[in-house]
Amino acid sequence: MSTSQIISYEPATGEELWRGRRSNVDEVVARARRAWPAWAAQPLSTRMEMVRRFANEVRKDAEKLATLIARETGKPMWEARTEVESVVNKVEISIRAYAERTSQRKLDNAMQGTASLRHKPHGIMAVLGPYNFPAHLPNGHIVPALIAGNAIVFKPSEKTPAVGEALVQCFHRAGISAALVQLVIGGPEEGQALVAHEGIDGVLFTGSANAGIAINRKLAARPDKILALEMGGNNPIVLWDTPKTTDAAALVIQSAFTSAGQRCTAGRRLIIKASMYDAVIAEVKRLADRMIVGAPFDEPAPFMGPVIDNQAADGLTESFLYLLSHGGKAIKHMTRPRDDLPFLSPAIIDVTGVKDRPDVELFGPLLQVIKVDDFDEAIAEANNTRFGLSASLVGGTPAEYNRFWANIRAGVINWNRPTNGASSAAPFGGVGLSGNHRPSAYYAADYCAYPVASTEMEQPRAMFGVGLREEK
């Protein structure tokens, strides 16, 4: 039985941060339906102006919002600031993307009038957000959907309602009506109610594959509703020949442990050439040993904070032990300095000898290492997953990178760069269980509006060429 309230706790202290009542989904959707037509009828320039005002509101309150993000997620303050920056930058990127992907086009065609392509909004979009980037990721759906002329019903993760509320307040302060961007407080139950609601025209989801698949199943008989699923990954880093072992190790660390490994694009599996193993692993371990794990506002600043809650920390510890008891060899143990708080040390485990490695996303600071002998084996191992979000090759020759790029199944493929840190100015999405082929970021515009093709003439004009009898 779910209680009538949602309570959010600070991961770093365990203290209560926020509480609020669960929303009434029917009321929220009805309100959105009343508000939507007026917004859709606004000229595009007005809608653009309003989201620009929203960016200004976020800018004004940047430090306050970053502090709230840091407190509610546990991520270091420096990282929370970069999240706020992404929220602001999303606005101009989305305006550009709308113009490029979904703007109007006219094709003159003398005989058949004017042929034109325009786009229309879907209506009411339910945005379901994750906890790891509680402002930036839902915002990545909300801003393009607003520009396209949709109304928004936004349910943040039940673990980050305070940031969700603060984000929605920025839209309202910008002058966007309270009925047009509404907050839904709740957990999976409210998410399910939104997905099933007749008054919702589309679901824009960012979260785990399990939840995404459940939503996809629910909408299987509803092709009329647009569904964009941005899900997880089990992302490989293939490490090949390079003399620059220190840089290579730093890229591995950044991929695996930024945001305490709570990024969909985190490097989870290091697939490493046997001859590079000793040098690189020693360096990776040295860096991981130096890594500061701490609370968001600690000085000196931590590299990473806690994971989101004790349940997540328990699950990760169990996964580490599972791999260990199934043939894994610990390179760096996962430790938990305090049982009552979800701080975890970065953990590294060699799973080369583990048979039937579970192909699941272990969403935390846990890196699995697999030793291989040749490049084909490395590519096969990298593709040995149902997911396909991001992948990196570190080291290797241009020819090897070409082979890597051509053969890896993923929506983000990098060379000598981390698996994470994708640009908002590019499309962002994955194949396999990482998404449903509706990439977000730059291509979010595509799922926020549908194309309408028209041929148009000012006066009716028609002629038959063949197939009529002579007039009597």
**Active-site residues: which are they?**
230
Residue 458: which residues within 8 A CB-CB, separation 6 or more? Answer: none
CA 306, CA 292: separation in Å to the nearest integer?
Answer: 11
Q: Binding of ligand NAD at residue 130 (CB under 6 A)?
A: yes
Tell me which residue has its CB nearest to ligand NAD: 191
Mode of pairing for the β-strands spanning 347-350 and 366-372: parallel
For residue 377, report the phi and psi dihedrals to the nearest 5 degrees: -65, -40
Binding mask 191-210 for ligand NAD (x = CB under 6 A): xx--x----------xxx--
Instruction: Report if residue 444 touches ligand NAD, rule: CB under 6 A.
Output: no
- Judge contact between 11 and 308, C-beta under 8 A: yes
Q: Which of 187, 314, 416, 431 binds ligand NAD (CB under 6 A)?
A: 187
CA distance 316 to 291: 19
- Could you tell me the smallest distance in angstroms from the CB atom of residue 457 to ligand NAD? 44
Count residues binding ligand NAD (CB under 6 A): 27
Specify the residue, 154 or 303, whose C-beta has the smaller distance to ligand NAD.
154
Site residues for ligand NAD, 260-299, by CB under 6 A, read 264
Selected from 83, 361, 400, 446, the binder of ligand NAD by CB under 6 A is 361
Q: Which stretch binds ligand NAD (CB under 6 A): 108-116, 184-192, 320-328, 391-399?
A: 184-192
**Contact call for residues 381 and 393 (beta carbons, < 8 A):** no
Q: Is 8 in the site for ligand NAD (CB under 6 A)?
A: no
Residues paired with 371 in a beta bridge: 272
**Residue 211 is a binding residue for ligand NAD (CB under 6 A):** yes
| Residue 353 CB partners (closer than 8 Å, separation 6+) | 327, 328, 329
CA distances from 181 to 39, 149, 170, 349, 441 (A): 11, 12, 10, 45, 20
Q: Applying CB under 6 A, does 185 fall inside the site for ligand NAD?
A: no
Per CB under 6 A, which of residues 223..262 are in contact with ligand NAD?
230-232
Residue number, 303 or 363, with CB nearest to ligand NAD: 363
Q: What residue type is 59 in one-letter code?
A: R
**Shortest approach of ligand NAD to residue 223 CB, angstroms?**
18
CB closer to ligand NAD out of 157 and 254: 157
> 326: burial class by Cβ within 10 Å (0-12, 13-18, 19+)?
middle
How many distinct helices (H) and strands (E) make up the chain? 14, 19
Enumerate binding residues for ligand NAD (CB under 6 A).
128-133, 137, 155, 157-158, 187-188, 191-192, 195, 206-208, 211, 214-215, 230-232, 264, 361, 363
